[in-house]
Structure formats: structure tokens, C-alpha cells
Amino acid sequence: MPIYEFDGKVPEIGEECFVADSADVIGGVRVGRRCYIGFGAILRGDYGNITVGEETAIEEGCVCHARPSEELVIGRRVILGHGAIVHGKEIGDEAVIGMGAVIGFDVVIGRGAVVAEGAVVTAGTVVPPDSLVGGVPARVMKGINEEKRAHFRHVKRVYVELAKTYEKRLERIGAGE
């Protein structure tokens, strides 16, 4: 896994994390315990800093970056879906960012909120807790019911377990040995 020091800033990776060997973690990035950082994910803490809470999954192909001298805070038990681009300010605990979603600068996603696949949350938007937003630009569509909350809790547990499983059973067999 490429871990890069940048300008004296060194990433910190928590215990029991899986960070794919094709993920790039750069500079001022702190990753909490039991996280999953997928293949091709990029966490760029070069000009700004990124904090990732425990048991968070940053799926394949995600790009996370903070503004210069600012911090992107990704909460606990968050899922950032495949290919999401996150430049926001804060992703609240237990939030879900759908595949291919774009989170603009200075966006705050409330606790337990869900951003639909492909949505574009424009700069400065504040998404209320426990709401579903979607569209281009994203707008509040409805609240999150208990059935959906239970589904997302299950998916989050799957990624925590996957991080453990990958550390024990994933073995490179092709190029780059």
C-alpha cells in the first residue's frame, strides 16, 4: 500500500485496517481503527488534512481531498461508495455516500444521511441528518426509515468484517510480486 509522507506530514493508519495495495494515502491523513480503504482509493492529505473515523469503508476508486489548510472529517461507520469524489468539510457518523456521488467543497453531510448514487451535492450545502438526497444538484427527497437504517448497518458490518478477512486471506498471485 503506497503511504506517502508529504511536506513532513505522515499518514497514521489505525489498528485492524485494510488498506489495498493500490490505494494511495498521502500526507496528513488519520485513519481510525477497523477501516476498509479499497483498491484505487486516494486520500490526499497534502494541502489539507483528512480524518477518517473508525469502522468506515472508503470503497474502490474514491477520491478524498481537503482544501488547503482545512480538514475533511469523515465520521465513524461511514460508507463512501465506489467512485465517490469527496471534497466536503464533514461527513457525519453513519452517513452513506452513494456510488459515483460528488461532494463539493464545504459540504456538511448530517449524521445518518444518505446521498444517492450519482448525486452532486454542490459547494456549501448542508444535508440534514437522517435524510436522503439525490439529483443534480442534490436536494432532499425524503427521510431514512428504520428498514433502510438496518440495511446500512448490516452493510457497514460487512465492510468491517471484510477488512479483517482481507488481512488474513487475500494473497497477491499476479504481477508485482
With 70 as the cut, is the pLDDT of residue 48 above it?
yes
**Taking the CB of residue 136, how many other CB atoms lie within 10 A of it?**
11
CATH of 3-169, one of 1.10.1750.10, 2.70.150.10, 2.160.10.10, 3.40.50.2300: 2.160.10.10
Please state whether the predicted TM-score (pTM) of the whole model is above 0.85. Answer: yes
Report the mean per-residue pLDDT for the chain.
93
Q: Looking at residue 143, what is its pLDDT?
A: 84
With 80 as the cut, is the pLDDT of residue 67 above it?
yes
Dist CA 148 CA 11 (whole Å)? 34
Domain locations in the chain as residue ranges: 3-169
What pLDDT digit, counting tens, does each position of 92-147 carry? 999 999 999 999 999 999 999 999 999 999 999 999 999 999 999 999 998 888 88
* Cis preceding-peptide flag for 11 (omega within 30 of 0): no
What pLDDT digit, counting tens, does each position of 68-96 carry? 999 999 999 999 999 999 998 999 999 99
